[in-house]
């Protein structure tokens, strides 16, 4: 079982049910639907197909709904593309029109009010570079073309030197979020998070809908880095979205920030996903570049909970080969011993101190005695996430009667969930679970197993018991 999970974006290359089945079988743990593209009808089919495969094959594949957020984009462009050249000028406008070599529409209502003289404007992940020359304060900004290229419809536009005055959720995002919650997605990713308040706004909508969905804050703006500790605290997980982040900040800063965010998330017991251009060459090729292999391997060895594929599986020509390749990289990278055992002493002031101390002790004991498996019974998934944050070499199996958290746990490093609802007495339940794991070939005679539970077990309260056993 790979401990680092695989998130795959689903698109035209993977809409087909048979392809979807193959990539899940090859190692996909979470299917991402990107609301920047596609329609609700298309994504409803994806959700239904994933759910059907889960029911049929006993998978716990999770669904991740990625909201577009305040993503700024070009509008339509004449003839599908026009080339602009360095040294010239172009006018960016918030008035809708088909772009040409002289003018182009940007989906930014306050464009002329917010963008100041000298501010950089980057188009299509920085392929085109502009500098603002002047603004009329109403609709238009005149910009000098520093680096030319082809303007194409709907390409992203970044303003790294401008404080963008747009809400975290647009009308489209509200519709997409309600659709996702109506269809029971486990994870909701919010794009272009700038503050913890953005996360709390989404959380309030989810809570109002009485949904168990968890919130992922996507880190891709400089403002987010200034409030990163508050954002990690407010969110359920973090995504290091290196595409837009690498455009908004100096490219040489991204690797260090990636490593720092992984460390912070492990300390906070929050899952962290590394995303964008993981093995992008495999959109067309059947093998990744050596640099891509190293990139994925480093994310795994740093301790990321998951790596995410975008165009590789949504639009690429070899989606199944992509999953097989990244799975092999993960499997080999997991043999690196230094990635395991990262401990943070439990906080005695925490209201979960007893549970945290039990999880800490379980992970530490597993290391010291060579236990192969840590088994926990949980109603919320908290103990599974907490154990995971210590990055034990032992497998972590979570048994729960709460079906809502089974798929959610598929994003969490090293955790595998099982449905179980026969909570009678602690000894009987532990014995029954041990037998099931033996029958499934997940543990064998002579191995040491650590069980975590709450006593009395029927109360399903916070974990307060730890037991070390030998499989007989």
Tens-digit pLDDT profile for the chain (472 aa)?
A: 899 999 999 999 999 999 999 999 999 999 999 998 889 999 999 999 999 999 999 999 999 999 999 889 999 999 999 999 999 999 999 999 999 999 999 999 999 999 999 999 999 989 999 999 999 999 999 999 999 999 999 899 999 999 889 999 989 999 999 999 999 999 999 999 999 999 999 999 999 999 999 999 999 999 999 999 999 999 999 999 998 899 999 999 999 999 999 999 999 999 999 999 999 999 999 999 999 999 999 999 999 999 999 999 999 999 999 999 999 999 999 999 989 987 778 888 888 899 999 999 999 999 999 999 999 988 889 999 999 999 999 999 999 988 889 999 999 999 999 999 887 777 888 899 999 999 999 999 999 999 998 877 665 668 889 999 999 9
Known active-site residue 276: yes
SS (H, E, C) 71-129: CCEECCEHHHCEEECCCCEEEEECCCCCECCCEEEECCCCHHHHCCCCCEEEECCCCEE
Query: Which of 302, 332, 362 represents a domain boundary (last residue)?
Result: 332
Same-domain pairing of 398 and 280 = no
Same domain, 54 and 185: yes
Q: Does residue 340 lie in a domain region?
A: no
The alpha carbon of residue 156 and the mean position of all alpha carbons in its chain are separated, in whole angstroms, by: 20
Last residue within a domain, chosen from 111, 135, 158? 158
Residue 144 sits in a domain whose CATH number is 2.40.33.10
- Measured distance CA(369)–CA(150) in Å, rounded: 60
Q: Is 303 left (phi over 0), alpha (psi -120 to 50) or beta?
A: left
Instruction: Say which of 32, 270, 391, 462 is annotated catalytic.
Output: 32
56 with 181, same domain: the answer is yes
The answer to whether 195 touches 223, Cβ cutoff 8 Å, is: yes
Catalytic residue among 4, 61, 93, 276: 276
Residue ending a domain, choose from 332, 364, 398? 332
Domain interval for residue 120: 78-158
pTM of the complete model: 0.92
Tell me which of 51, 73, 259, 467 is the catalytic residue. 73
User: What are the C-alpha distances in Å from 145 to residues 82, 162, 184, 418?
Assistant: 14, 18, 46, 56
Q: CA–CA separation, 372 vs 443, rounded Å?
A: 8
Beta-carbon contacts of 330 under 8 Å, excluding residues fewer than 6 positions away, are: 2, 3, 4, 6, 27, 296, 300, 307
Is 337 part of any domain? no
The answer to whether residue 348 sits within a structural domain is: no
* pLDDT per position as a tens digit, 289-343: 999 999 999 999 999 999 999 999 999 999 999 999 999 999 999 999 989 987 7
Which position among 3, 5, 218, 266 bears the catalytic label?
218
Q: How far is CA 410 from CA 2, 73, 388, in A?
A: 11, 33, 12
Task: Specify the number of domains making up the chain.
Answer: 3
* 32 in catalytic set: yes
Assess if residue 338 is contained within a domain: no
Per the CB < 8 A criterion, the answer to whether 271 and 265 are in contact is: yes
Asked whether residue 327 falls in the same domain as residue 466, the answer is no
Together in a domain, 184 and 304? yes
Residue 218 falls in the annotated catalytic set: yes
């Amino acid at each position: 079982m790979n401990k680092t999970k695989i998130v795959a974006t689903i698109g035209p290359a993977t809409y087909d049910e048979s392809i979807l089945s193959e990539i899940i079988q090859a190692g996909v743990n979470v299917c991402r639907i990107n609301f920047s593209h596609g329609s609700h009808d298309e994504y409803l089919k994806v959700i239904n197909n994933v759910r059907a495969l889960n029911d049929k094959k006993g998978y716990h594949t999770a669904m991740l709904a990625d909201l577009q957020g305040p993503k700024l984009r070009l509008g339509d462009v004449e003839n599908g593309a026009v080339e602009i050249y360095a040294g010239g000028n172009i006018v960016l406008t918030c008035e809708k029109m088909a772009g040409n070599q002289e003018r182009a529409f940007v989906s930014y209502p306050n464009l002329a009010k917010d963008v100041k003289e000298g501010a950089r404007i980057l188009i299509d992940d920085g392929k085109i570079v502009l500098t603002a020359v002047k603004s009329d304060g109403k609709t238009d900004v005149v910009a000098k073309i520093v680096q030319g290229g082809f303007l194409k419809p709907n390409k992203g536009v970044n303003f790294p030197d401008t404080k963008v005055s747009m809400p975290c959720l647009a009308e489209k995002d509200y519709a997409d979020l309600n659709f996702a919650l109506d269809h029971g997605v486990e994870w909701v990713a919010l794009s272009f998070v700038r503050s913890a308040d953005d996360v709390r706004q989404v959380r309030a909508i989810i809570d109002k809908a009485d949904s168990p969905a968890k919130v992922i804050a996507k880190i891709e703006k400089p403002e987010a880095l200034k409030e990163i500790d508050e954002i990690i605290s407010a969110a359920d997980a973090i995504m290091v979205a290196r595409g837009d982040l690498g455009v908004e900040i100096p490219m040489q800063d991204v690797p260090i920030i990636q490593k720092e965010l992984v460390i912070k998330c492990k300390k906070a017991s929050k899952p962290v996903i590394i995303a964008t251009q993981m093995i992008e060459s495999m959109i067309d090729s059947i093998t990744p570049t050596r640099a891509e292999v190293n990139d994925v391997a480093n994310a795994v060895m740093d301790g990321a909970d998951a790596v995410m594929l975008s165009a590789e599986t949504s639009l690429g020509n070899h989606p199944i080969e992509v999953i097989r390749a990244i799975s092999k990289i993960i499997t080999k990278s997991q043999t690196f011993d230094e990635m395991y055992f990262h401990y943070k002493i439990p906080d005695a002031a925490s209201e979960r101190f007893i549970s945290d101390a039990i999880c800490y002790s379980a992970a530490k004991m597993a290391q010291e005695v060579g236990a192969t498996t840590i088994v926990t019974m949980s109603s919320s998934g908290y103990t599974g996430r907490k154990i995971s944050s210590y990055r034990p070499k032992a497998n972590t199996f979570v048994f729960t009667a709460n079906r809502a958290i089974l798929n959610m746990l598929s994003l969490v490093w090293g955790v595998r969930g099982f449905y179980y609802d026969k909570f009678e007495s602690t000894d009987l339940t532990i014995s029954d679970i041990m037998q099931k794991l033996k029958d499934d070939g997940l543990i064998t005679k002579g191995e040491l197993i650590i069980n975590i539970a709450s006593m009395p077990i029927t109360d399903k309260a916070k974990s307060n018991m730890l037991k070390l056993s030998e499989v007989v």
